[in-house]
């Protein structure tokens, strides 16, 4: 093993960590768009094959609604094709969710779309699909 560079030591990473801001990014390895509004320990609720909802662990009063801190949409390549959006361009999240709700009007899809709408303008509006996770 080689000596760990100082910049990669856990203490150094955490003590200089940039401030967290709500984020949305494309996880190319798992072909998913991930949206997260809080840096916290998360448990993932797999709703179905395309939707996963993020809940905060160690929440003082977990109720399954107010402990939601994000979501993942999985199978992006497949879904963009299904809703007729161009995978070569940045994905407008609101537009994508709106089309998903029409195509898959499931409870989970509606929950995710509503959660995203409630976050307002603080949320990232689009995701670049070429970004590395």
Q: Cβ 50 to another protein, closest distance in Å?
A: 7
d(CA 67, CA 108): 15
Smallest gap from residue 18 Cβ to another protein (A): 5
Would you tell me which residues interact with another protein (CB under 8 A)? 1-5, 8-11, 13-15, 17-21, 23, 25, 27-31, 36, 39-46, 49-50, 57-58, 74-79, 132-133
CB–CB of 54/71 below 8 Å?
A: yes
Choose between 40 and 90: whose C-beta lies nearer to another protein: 40
Residue 22: helix, strand or coil by DSSP? coil
Nearer to another protein, 7 or 120 (CB): 7
Cβ closest to another protein, residue 2 vs residue 121: 2
> What b/e sequence results for 20-45 when a residue is b if at least 16 CB atoms lie within 10 Å of its CB, and e otherwise?
eeeebbbeeeeebbbbbbeebebeee
């Amino acid at each position: 093993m080689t000596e760990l560079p100082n910049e990669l030591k856990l203490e150094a990473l955490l003590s200089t960590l940039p401030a967290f801001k709500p984020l949305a990014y494309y996880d190319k390895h798992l072909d998913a768009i991930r949206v997260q509004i809080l840096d916290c320990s998360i448990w993932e609720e797999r709703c179905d094959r395309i939707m996963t909802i993020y809940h905060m662990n160690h929440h003082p009063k977990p109720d399954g609604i107010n402990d939601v801190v994000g979501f993942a949409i999985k199978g992006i390549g497949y879904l963009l094709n299904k809703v007729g959006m161009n995978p070569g361009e940045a994905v407008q999240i609101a537009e994508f969710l709106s089309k998903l709700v029409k195509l898959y009007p499931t409870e989970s899809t509606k929950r995710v779309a509503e959660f995203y709408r409630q976050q307002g303008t603080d949320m990232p509006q689009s995701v670049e699909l070429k970004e590395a996770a």
